[in-house]
């Protein structure tokens, strides 16, 4: 999973912003239509930034580092009017006269504007999803302190200004949220994450106060006191007012789900086709898991029977037994970061040896996931914004919670055992998200960078796992291949439960049965997925759909290029267009009509 450092949020009906100074367009020339579109793009990018100073910071534009977003009704109305005006102007551009690259960017901009307008007017995420406000509040400070884009005193002074301004954002959130419309899981997650805001101050700001002059330090101390008091006040409101009244329905329903899924994926694959493919893929992957498990169990004392034509019970028993062997080798409770660091380097060396793709020179650093972002995903890739390509990329791992029992911790570490953690390192870093985002940031269109496709990004990371195994990574270790297949099975069942929960009324018990029995997930992993599915709509489908589209694009390239096809040419080529939806990357790569 990627965190969108340059796309701080999502649930307020706001769009994604990037600064004017970024490389904006493909060429400052061309047809009249191209010039009109490029001018409109620059205007949208510039004006958008004013509406989201927090996202501007994480993108790499630091002109507004001392400000925070206006999430009041008036601020929301202003951004809505701007989106509507931009959409009207975009509809006046003759798309047929645009360059191929601009045709793609125009489609992405239209999709983003329509999504923003619909989310604001119809879905009204600002009224019921508090996690949008949480992402802004956390990103406001984390975005300033996580990377050294400016001197420490400069960043601390900006943090001082933002800590004095954030109480207003909390107050606006309290005014805009309608407690009765907020689903209980959203309120519970909000309560847990809001407490983590103070840890950003304690861990990332207070230890550096000595870098300031006496006067600036006094102002910082005063701002910290104001901010911490505001967080406490907001926490009291969450726990005393919001959470008790939170009775909203977390299930989106088919109409809302299909609309949001369309905006999320920009794919030609409807929900019903996704489900058909996912159901078939479950059977195919389980059959492959059995084949690999049979190899892994050879010579193991007490192993279950592995006939060539197993019954369903024999298939289940063999796969489970082999996975148990893998689960028995796991990192210590407090060694996840160290283990992931070593595994990322192991994967990097293999990619270099096989020359699978052009790799960045910069480092990827494994970190403990910040507290304010925990509770949704176990790991994510945290890349710098498109204007800060020289800065570090983080591969963040959620630690085992301190309050978990030993039984719960063991369940978690069985899921994220040594081999599974290695596969996660492939997905998040080498040659997954870290490498793909690096290629994406080399593309000159800032518009495309900010409107990147989640299904392209997530699908690439799943595809990267498959490529590594196909090319022989840990080929002498069938338990690694089995672990990779298990995680692939997770991406498939992600797509199933995404729509089954929101459209078909799947219960927690039914989901747990699917994930723990059919997909072999440990109890802690499956339980966490229930919360994640409640909090998101459509995102869990991006992995499987994107994976399918990447496979289809590669197959089309192999046919078209014939003997001239090789993996490095293909990988560098398909990633050379930024992160558009995969159908557009295919059309650009293979010179197909832009549709």
Q: For residue range 229-286, what is the model confidence (pLDDT) as tens digits?
A: 999 999 999 999 999 999 999 999 999 999 999 999 999 899 999 999 999 999 999 9
For residue 4, is pLDDT > 70?
Answer: no
Distance CA(107)–CA(221), nearest Å, equals: 47
User: Nearest Cα to 9, choosing from 48, 62, 65, 35?
Assistant: 48
Please count the residues of the chain. 595
pLDDT band at 379 (very low <50, low <70, confident <90, very high): low
Distances, alpha carbon 533 to alpha carbons 409, 507, 527, in Å:
22, 11, 10
Higher pLDDT among residues 440 and 552, named by residue: 552
Q: Give the pLDDT confidence of 90-111 residue by residue, as tens digits.
A: 999 999 999 999 999 999 999 9
Provide the pLDDT for residue 337.
76
Phi, psi of 366 (to 5 degrees): -85, 130
For residue 398, is pLDDT > 80?
Answer: no
Provide the pLDDT for residue 6.
34
For residue 175, is pLDDT > 70?
Answer: yes
Provide the pLDDT for residue 381.
66
Looking at residues 560-583, what average pLDDT do you find?
A: 97
Q: Give the pLDDT confidence of 112-169 residue by residue, as tens digits.
A: 999 999 999 999 999 999 999 999 999 999 999 988 889 999 999 999 999 999 999 9
Provide the pLDDT for residue 21.
36
Higher pLDDT among residues 8 and 590, named by residue: 590
Distance CA(290)–CA(306), nearest Å, equals: 8
Provide the pLDDT for residue 397.
74
Provide the pLDDT for residue 12.
41
Provide CB contacts within 8 A for 119, sequence distance 6+: 12, 13, 125, 260
Looking at residues 18-24, what average pLDDT do you find?
A: 36
Distance CA(559)–CA(555), nearest Å, equals: 6
Sheet of strand 2-3, all strands in order from the earlier edge strand to the far edge: 2-3, 379-382, 393-397, 364-368
Compute the mean pLDDT over every residue in the chain, rounded to the nearest whole number. 90
């Amino acid at each position: 999973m990627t965190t969108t450092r340059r796309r701080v949020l999502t649930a307020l009906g706001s769009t994604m912003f990037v600064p004017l100074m970024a490389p904006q367009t493909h060429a400052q020339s061309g047809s009249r239509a191209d010039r009109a579109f490029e001018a409109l793009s620059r205007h949208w990018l510039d004006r958008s930034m004013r509406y989201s100073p927090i996202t501007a910071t994480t993108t790499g534009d630091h002109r507004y580092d001392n400000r925070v977003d206006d999430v009041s009704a008036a601020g929301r109305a202003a951004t809505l009017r701007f989106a509507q005006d931009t959409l009207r102007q975009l509809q006046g551009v003759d798309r047929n006269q645009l360059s191929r690259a601009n045709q793609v960017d125009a489609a992405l901009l239209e999709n983003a504007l329509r999504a923003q307008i619909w989310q604001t007017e119809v879905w009204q995420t600002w009224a019921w999803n508090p996690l949008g406000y949480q992402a802004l509040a956390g990103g406001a400070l984390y975005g300033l302190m996580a990377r050294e884009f400016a001197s420490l005193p400069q960043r601390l002074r900006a943090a001082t200004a933002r800590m004095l301004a954030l109480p207003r954002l909390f107050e606006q959130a309290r005014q805009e949220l309608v407690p009765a419309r907020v689903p209980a899981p959203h309120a519970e997650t909000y309560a847990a994450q809001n407490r983590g805001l103070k840890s950003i101050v304690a861990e990332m700001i207070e230890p550096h106060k000595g870098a300031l002059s006496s006067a600036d330090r006094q102002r910082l101390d005063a701002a910290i006191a104001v901010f911490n008091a505001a967080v406490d006040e907001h926490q009291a409101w969450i726990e005393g007012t919001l959470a008790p009244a939170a009775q909203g329905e977390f299930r989106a329903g088919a109409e809302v789900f299909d609309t949001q899924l369309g905006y999320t994926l920009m794919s030609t694959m409807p929900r019903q086709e996704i489900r058909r493919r996912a159901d078939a893929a479950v059977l195919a992957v389980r059959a492959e898991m059995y084949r690999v498990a049979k190899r892994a169990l050879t010579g193991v004392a007490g192993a279950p029977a592995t006939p060539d034509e197993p019954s369903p019970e024999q298939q289940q028993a063999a796969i489970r037994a082999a996975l148990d062997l893998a689960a028995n080798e796991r990192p210590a409770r407090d060694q996840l970061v160290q283990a992931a660091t070593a595994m990322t380097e192991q994967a990097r060396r293999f990619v270099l040896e096989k020359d699978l793709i052009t790799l960045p020179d910069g480092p990827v650093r494994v970190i403990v996931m910040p507290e304010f972002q925990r509770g949704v995903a176990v790991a994510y890739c945290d890349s710098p914004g498109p204007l800060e390509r020289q800065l570090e990329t983080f591969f963040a791992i959620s630690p085992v919670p301190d309050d978990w029992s030993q039984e719960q911790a063991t369940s978690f570490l069985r899921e994220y055992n040594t081999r599974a953690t290695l596969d996660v390192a492939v997905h998040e870093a080498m040659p997954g998200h870290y490498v793909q985002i690096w290629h994406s940031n080399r593309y000159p269109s800032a518009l495309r960078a900010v409107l990147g496709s989640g299904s392209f990004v997530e699908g690439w990371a799943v595809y990267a796992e498959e490529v590594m195994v196909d090319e022989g990574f840990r080929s002498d270790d069938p338990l690694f291949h089995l672990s990779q297949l298990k995680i692939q099975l997770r991406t498939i069942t992600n797509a199933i439960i995404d729509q089954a929960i929101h459209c078909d009324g799947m219960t927690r018990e039914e989901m747990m049965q699917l994930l723990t029995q059919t997909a072999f997930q440990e109890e802690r992993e499956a339980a966490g997925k229930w919360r994640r599915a409640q909090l998101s709509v459509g995102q869990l489908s991006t992995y499987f759909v994107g994976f399918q589209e990447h496979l289809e694009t590669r197959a089309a390239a192999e046919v078209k290029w014939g003997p001239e096809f090789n993996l490095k040419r293909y990988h560098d080529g398909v990633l050379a267009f930024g992160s558009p939806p995969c159908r557009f990357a295919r059309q650009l790569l293979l010179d197909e009509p832009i549709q």
